Structure 1
Amino acid sequence: MRAARLPIFSALLSFNGGFVDVACFFGLKGLLAAHITGNLATLCASIVLGTRGLLSKMLAVPEFIVIVALTHLVGHALKARGRPAARILLGVEVLLLAAFLALVARNAPFADPDSLVALATALAAIAAMAVQNGVQRAHLPQVPPTTFMTGNATQFAIDIVDVMQRRATPQVAARVRHVLLNLCGFAVGCAVAAAAFWMFGFNCVALTIPVAIAAAALTP
């Protein structure tokens, strides 16, 4: 991938990571489709407080792991055949987001987040974010995380100290800019999702599809 495209590409994925998390949190009673750590916390809260949405949170972690593993297997098979694995797999993410939107458009709002249709909607969103994470880690390791902002914030804090003390290499200085762009992209995605959900309801997830298509088009 051309160096100039890389920050734009990862900012688009970060935008979708924040957007999907916030939309799912509102529409599926606390589910965080791209944030496994958060799902473990909200799962515990659901158990203790007796809130709904328990099934999707219970299935989020194993589903995420299985989908990432399948993404990795398929990616290896595509590369062995000389196919553009990252682009094809991000195309799969677009299809999963489309399935997510179709389920939302047909069934939302969900009175019972533990119903079968709500569970299927949650699983589609989680699968899309798992594919995104699997592609980024396995095929585009030069891209900072697009959903794991705790790690990005930690890396930014460490690197910015080195930059300010003039100890940073050009690579570290470039990483500071890239990580900051991902942090901003994720934050903007969260903010836009909150505003869009307030105005349009759960159907706001339609916005993630053109963003995902644009990201796929920028891959090699």
Structure 2
Amino acid sequence: MTRLPLSVLLSFNGGYVDTAGFLALQGLFTAHVTGNFVTLGATLVTGGSDALPKLLALPVFCLVIFIARIAALLLQKAQRPVLKFLLAAKVILLFAAAIFSVAHGPFSSATTIANLVMGMTLVSAMAIQNALHRVHLAKSPPSTLMTGTTTQIMLDLGEIMVGGKGESSALALTRVKRMSVAVAAFAFGCACAALATATIPLWAFVIPAVIGALSFAARIATPEGD
């Protein structure tokens, strides 16, 4: 049986967690910080009450990546498996979020302690995913941001259309195939999250935790440390 690449599972989870977090936690982007700047600005202007999670998301995101990098370097010096450690830390956080959601959801107000705990737990998990992807899967398309990937796909399609059958067009075609899989997995994750949040809101966050656990059996396309 062919194993799915790790990057595909990460892309699915990136889309799923970001969408589920946005829907369940009043517009909080948990997998990337750019969107929170936009929603924070809008909240400050409109006078909404959900500014605190968006304000905390960036420092929490940065701090977790910083700590994860230090831990990874220490493990590397000790000749320990870094990637598995980071995956385990992310999965533990996702399972913690799933249990917390079942116990305290649904989350109706962004100002409650429960919402802050849930939101920052998910932000921390996705911060670790961003860090491990950047270091260990550098040749794979990003798993939480599709803007750059989509831009590159369109550039490569233009190259293929004009360039004919040259070497640059062949490289572009290879890139398009690889990046299209990442975009499709991310989009599928978004759709699944929207469906799960609407139908099983308390249990919606169990799915990314299970997918995260399956990551240990996934195929790693690039060597550790790449």
Aligned to 1:10: 7
Alignment deviations for residues 118-163 of structure 1 (CA, whole Å, 9 cap, x no partner) = 1011000000000000001012211210001101111111222223
The alpha carbon displacement at 1:200 in A equals 0.5
Provide the aligned C-alpha RMSD in A.
1.7
1:92 aligned to 2:89?
A: yes
Structure 1 stretches of 4+ moved >4 Å: none
**Alignment check: 8 A CA contact 1:28 1:53 kept:** no
Letter in 2 for 1:133: N
Distance in 2 (alpha carbons) for counterparts of 1:169 and 1:78: 41
Structure 2 portions without partners, runs of 5+: none
Alignment deviations for residues 26-72 of structure 1 (CA, whole Å, 9 cap, x no partner) = 11100010121111111111111222321110011111111111111
**Alignment check: 8 A CA contact 2:87 2:129 kept:** yes
Q: Give the percent of matched residue pairs that are identical in Structure 1 and Structure 2.
A: 34
Count, aligned residues: 216
**Alignment check: 8 A CA contact 1:107 1:117 kept:** yes
Aligned to 2:186: 186
The equivalent position to 1:41 in structure 2, one of 38, 42, 45, is: 38
Distance in 2 (alpha carbons) for counterparts of 1:31 and 1:216: 28
Distance in 2 (alpha carbons) for counterparts of 1:152 and 1:170: 18
TM-score of the superposition, structure 2-length normalised?
Answer: 0.89
Q: How does 1:65-214 map to 2 (within 5 A)?
A: 65-164=62-161, 165=163, 166-167=165-166, 168=168, 170-214=170-214
Distance in 2 (alpha carbons) for counterparts of 1:176 and 1:124: 34
Higher helix share: 1
The alpha carbon displacement at 1:8 in A equals 2.5
What secondary structure is seen at the aligned counterpart in 1 of 2:201?
helix
Structure 1 portions without partners, runs of 5+: none
Range with greater deviation from structure 2 (86-95 or 76-85): 76-85
Letter in 2 for 1:195: L
Distance in 2 (alpha carbons) for counterparts of 1:17 and 1:85: 20
TM-score of the superposition, structure 1-length normalised?
Answer: 0.91
Higher radius of gyration, 1 or 2? 2
The alpha carbon displacement at 1:170 in A equals 4.9
Identify if the C-alpha distance between structure 1 residues 172 and 215 changes in structure 2 by more than 3 Å, giving closer, same or farther: farther
